[in-house]
Amino acid sequence: MEKFINLSRELLSFIEKSTDSFHAVKTVSDMLLEKGYRYLPETKQWSISTGKYFTKRNNSSLIAFEIPENDFDSFGIIAAHCDSPCFKVKELHSLKVEGNYTKLNTEPYGGMIMSSWMDRPLGISGRLLVKTDSGVKTILCDTEKDYCIIPNMAIHMQRDINDGHKFNPQVDMLPLIGDENADLITFLSEKYGVNKEDVLSHDLFLYPMEKGRIVGEKGEFIVSPRLDDLQCAFSAVKALTESEYSGKIKIAAILDNEEVGSRRKQAADSSFMENVIDRICECLNINKNKKCAMIAKSFMVSADNAHAVHPNFPAVTDQSNRNYINKGIVIKFNANQSYTTDGVSSAVFKSICDKNEVPYQTFHNRSDMRGGGTLGNISNSHISLNTVDIGIPQFSMHSAMETAGIKDTYYMYKAMKGFYEAKVNFDEEV
| pTM for this model (two decimals) | 0.95
Burial class (CB in 10 A: 0-12, 13-18, 19+), 292: exposed
How far apart, in whole angstroms, are the C-alpha atoms of residue 36 and residue 241? 9
* DSSP code per residue over 155-168: GGG-TTGGG-----
Backbone φ and ψ of 355, nearest 5°: -60, -35
Burial class (CB in 10 A: 0-12, 13-18, 19+), 122: buried
For residues 31-56, one letter each, b for 16 or more C-beta atoms within 10 angstroms of the residue's C-beta and e for the rest, the string is: bbeeeebeebeeeeeeebeeebbbbb
Q: pLDDT of the chain along its 430 residues, tens only?
A: 889 999 999 999 999 999 999 999 999 999 999 999 999 999 999 999 999 999 999 999 999 999 998 789 999 999 999 999 999 999 999 999 999 999 999 999 999 999 999 999 999 999 999 999 999 999 999 999 999 999 999 999 888 888 888 999 999 999 999 999 999 999 999 999 999 999 999 999 999 999 999 999 999 999 999 999 999 999 999 999 999 977 899 999 999 989 888 888 898 889 999 999 999 999 999 999 999 999 999 999 999 999 999 999 999 888 899 999 999 999 999 867 678 899 999 999 999 999 999 999 999 888 887 766 678 888 888 889 999 999 999 999 999 999 999 999 999 999 999 999 998 767 666 5
Backbone φ and ψ of 118, nearest 5°: -85, 150
51 phi-psi bin (left φ>0, alpha ψ -120 to 50, beta other): left
Q: Whats the size of the chain, residue-wise?
A: 430
CB 391 within 8 A of CB 334: no
Which domains, and CATH codes, for the chain? 2-84+225-421 (3.40.630.10), 86-208 (2.30.250.10)
